Chain A
Amino acid sequence: MKKLAFHPDDSVRAFITTIPEVTYGDGPLSGVTVAVKDNISTKGIETTCASKILKGYIPPYDAHVVTLLRNSGAALVGKTNMDEFGMGTTTENSAFGPTLNPLDHERVPGGSSGGSAAAVAAGLVDCAIGSDTGGSIRCPAAFCGIVGLKPTYGRVSRYGLIAYANSLEQIGPMARDVTTLSKLYSVIAGHDPRDATSVDRPYSHIPSADIKGLKIGVPDEFFGEGVNPKVAGVVRKALEILESYGAQTVPCTIPSMKYALSAYYVTCTSEASSNLARFDGVRYGPAVETLKSWHDAYSDQRKAGFGKEVRRRIILGTFSLAAGYYGRYYQKAQTARQMVRDDLERIFRDVDVIAGPTMPDIAFRLGEKSDPLQMYLSDILTVPANLAGVPAISVPCGNVEHMPVGLQLIGRYFDDERIIDTAYAFEQGGA
């Protein structure tokens, strides 16, 4: 085994845990420094999900992606900050305090994989692993000016990812360039029998910048109300550049976008209310007061251990699933979810890729989004890919007020290769 010392100048507070002496082996990623989001289990290394309720939790096993990273020779140098349990768009909902945007310390890095994005953007690591439930890889990638991929659902094992909303989330790669992202993706993709939703679609693609004849659908909804016109302008210009490389753009519409955000939040809070029931201080986390009665002890424990946004989402999810409300919320959300899938499948009959901005605006100032609903609304452009399970990537495409703008490319099921090629073509300036 080889050794590497890791003492980063973490002025942006990207890390929750760093590993000063890292050992690594041989393999395709030998010596490549990788930061891992703190909701992914690492044997022997504290894993907190940026929550007080998991303070001191040391997983007794590695997540599948971590095993794959170790086997590839990657140097796992630390665990990154995030919104608690992945619930947020800015990394401000962390029990450890916010991570700062490396490009402007008065702005957020995006979230929830904000620590991973900031560590990459600040040059502290070569690449990072994030997770994306409703945009949590793509949003911070866009805000920090790096590349981030949410793979097709099922392509990367979720074994060892501490669950927030199982039907939506995927682990994915983040890097400063498409080539590094692609290499990292080739290591983490593939079948794992321990995740029943895992599919046997490994990734071994070498990015190609040749996109002649590529048909790109451009949904009206991605450039409409709520999207900063300057951001929309930068993305439109990026699409013209892709046209100059031989791609063709076609206007399209996603009428179900009207329901997408509600469908997303009803689904993820419902799943969260069930998933987070396990945090009771019995098997892990700070000890629960065993002399009190069951409900009193758990309520005290969870009130002290969970942040406000987590408790708010558990309350919303419990409400959505309650008998008598299930039909109005959860069931309708599943109808809307199917409508989003249908819309995307219809569009993908005519086009190869759907493109638009990743985020409706540039990185927010710290504390700017204090109202939870306003925060939720900023996820509108990223949630459709999670609802449908299709792959999506964010690649930097320009600046507004000196802050980066992300171009989002959404692909067909298992066509991650094509959106990676399109991002690569943009990054390389054509073939």
Chain B
Amino acid sequence: MVITALFQISYHISGGHKNTMVTAEDVRKIAKLADVGIDDSELSEFTTQCSGILEYFAVLDTLDQNKPFIRDRYNVLREDEVLPSLTQEESLRNAGQTEKGYFKAPRVM
């Protein structure tokens, strides 16, 4: 819901006009949401590029939306059996920081 509000400010397709599809502020917000970080120095480059790409994608919006993608696949289920797996030591070997057999992550609050 929050995300919707963020973009509706600036997003609009107007038949064939080459409008900016996203603003620098939008790109900054999405980068924040996705935790990829963005510098002021990159912002205008990313905004121009993303706008151009989204403008190209706009052809999709000319499609009727009555054709769902048919997946002729089904859930593959199995019994929940215990099988050989990685040891705790193996699982932790690539971790940046560990403590008492756990992964150590940044604080959430």
Contact = CB atoms under 8 A, between A and B. Distances in A.
A51 to B, nearest CB: 13
A303 B37 contact: yes
A58 B30 contact: no
Contacts of B54: 316, 319
Interface string B20-57: 00100011001111111111001000100110111011
A57 B95 CA distance: 9
Contacts of A308: 42
B82 to A, nearest CB: 15
A338 B106 contact: no
Interface in A344-377: 371-373, 376
Contacts, number: 178
A332 interface: yes
A402 interface: no
Contacts of B109: 293
A55 to B, nearest CB: 11
Interface string A243-284: 000000000000000110111011000000100010011111
Given A197-B73, A294-B105, A336 B63 contact: yes
Given A319-B54, A325-B7, A325-B11, A259 B60 contact: yes
Interface in A291-343: 291-300, 302-304, 306, 308, 311-312, 314-316, 318-320, 322-325, 327-329, 331-339, 341
A60 B105 CA distance: 21
Taking residues whose C-beta sits less than 8 angstroms from the other chain, chain B's interface range is: 35 or more
A258 B96 CA distance: 46
A105 to B, nearest CB: 29
A283 B106 contact: no
A289 interface: yes
A212 B103 CA distance: 61
A259 to B, nearest CB: 6
Interface in A168-206: 193, 196-197
Name which of B3, B27, B57 has the most chain A CB atoms within 10 A of its CB: B57
Given A295-B35, A299-B37, A329-B57, A371 B106 contact: no
A266 B70 contact: no
A263 B62 CA distance: 12
A262 B106 contact: no
Contact of A373 (B6, B53, B59, B75): B53
A288 interface: yes
B63 A312 contact: no
A115 interface: no
A302 B35 contact: yes
B34 A318 contact: yes
Contact of A299 (B35, B103, B108): B35
Contacts of A322: 3-4, 6-7, 30
Interface of B: 1, 3-4, 6-8, 11, 22, 26-27, 30-39, 42, 46, 49-50, 52-54, 56-57, 59-61, 63-70, 73, 75-76, 78, 86, 90-91, 93-97, 103-109
Given A280-B35, A315-B27, A334-B69, 19 more contacts: A60-B86, A265-B53, A283-B95, A290-B97, A290-B106, A293-B106, A293-B109, A295-B35, A297-B106, A299-B32, A299-B37, A303-B39, A314-B34, A315-B50, A318-B33, A323-B4, A328-B60, A339-B67, A372-B49
A-B pairs, top 9 by smallest CB distance, nearest first, are A287-B96, A303-B37, A324-B4, A334-B69, A297-B106, A284-B94, A332-B60, A299-B37, A60-B90
23 contacts: A60-B90, A197-B73, A263-B60, A265-B53, A266-B60, A273-B34, A282-B104, A283-B94, A288-B96, A290-B106, A292-B106, A294-B107, A302-B36, A315-B31, A318-B34, A319-B50, A328-B60, A329-B60, A332-B61, A335-B66, A338-B68, A372-B49, A373-B49
